[in-house]
Amino acid sequence: MEAMIRYRHKNFLCNLEKPLDIGLPLEEGYSGVNCFYAPPMEAEPVVAGDFIGSTARGGVVNFLNIRFNPHGNGTHTECVGHIAKEKYTINRCLRQFIFPARLVSLYPVRMENGDRVIGLQQIKEALEGEVPPALVIRTLPNDGFKQRMHYSGTNPPYIDSEAVALLVEAGVEHLLIDLPSVDREEDGGRLLAHKAFWRFPDKIRENCTITELIYVNNSIPDGLYLLNIQIAGFEVDASPSKPVLYALTPAD
């Protein structure tokens, strides 16, 4: 089924029957992606008297208690409540779910201290031309290990806070990246990139989101897409999410 999308006074066609999933699932145990020393996701059947919520163990239905950490166990979308003392929840902050988006692929640059950083100049070049409200960053090299990588203690790449501030100036409201965090794994609690993105604490952009731990297959080329961010309605700072891209082609 094709849909017509109008963006910046131009018409694009979008095939809704060809979604491109760029999320990583939450999986039990240590087979899936993990970061920040989070315990793995657990799924346990409810047991009450003779009832057991597992068909594999003789129950009539599966009725499971799920325990997970959205920031550490898979693709997740977070709001400013991640760093604020006040309660901002992802269910209330994310009010729209479909956006024009640009996918860009960038090599983090190795710094003198050994850190690998997406810098200001790279973001300047990535933002040339029209900037849609959502930006999806695929870091290079890009391989399947990202789908099951355990990042804790590895000092993964991150984004320079000045580069994030430039994204904000350019009008980016939703930032998606295939790393555990936009900030350094251990930065003494400064969280400069998070604060720059949400303009925290002075001019908070409460409807803006960061999605981390995505995975964009190499078969998906850089370019313009329609993005659908799917979340669960948790009244906390973050939710497991399923971002999906749809290719856009000019209709004229």
- The reported pLDDT for the residue numbered 221 is 97
Residue 44 lies in a domain: no
The domain spanning residue 21 has which CATH number? Answer: 3.50.30.50
- The reported pLDDT for the residue numbered 1 is 79
Residue 124 lies in a domain: yes
Please give the chain's pLDDT, 252 residues, in tens: 777 777 777 888 999 999 999 999 999 988 999 999 999 999 999 999 999 999 999 999 999 999 999 999 999 999 999 999 999 999 999 999 999 999 999 999 999 999 999 999 999 998 887 789 999 999 999 999 999 999 999 999 999 999 999 999 999 999 999 999 999 999 999 999 999 999 999 999 999 999 999 999 999 999 999 999 999 999 999 999 999 999 998 887
| Beta pairing, strands 158-159 & 116-118 | parallel
Residue 245 lies in a domain: yes
- The reported pLDDT for the residue numbered 5 is 79
Residue 65 lies in a domain: no
Domain count, the chain: 1
- The reported pLDDT for the residue numbered 4 is 78
- The reported pLDDT for the residue numbered 246 is 97
Residue 172 lies in a domain: yes
Q: Which domain covers residue 145, as residue numbers?
A: 2-29+70-250
- The reported pLDDT for the residue numbered 92 is 98
- The reported pLDDT for the residue numbered 127 is 87
Residue 43 lies in a domain: no
- The reported pLDDT for the residue numbered 6 is 78
Nearest partner of 102 among 208, 1, 248, 252, judged by Cα: 248
Residue 52 lies in a domain: no
Nearest partner of 246 among 77, 1, 25, 10, judged by Cα: 1
* Long-range own/partner contacts, residues 197-205 (CB < 8 A, 24 or more apart): 197/164, 197/167, 197/168, 198/80, 198/83, 199/168, 200/80, 200/83, 200/84, 201/84, 204/80, 204/84, 205/80, 205/168, 205/173
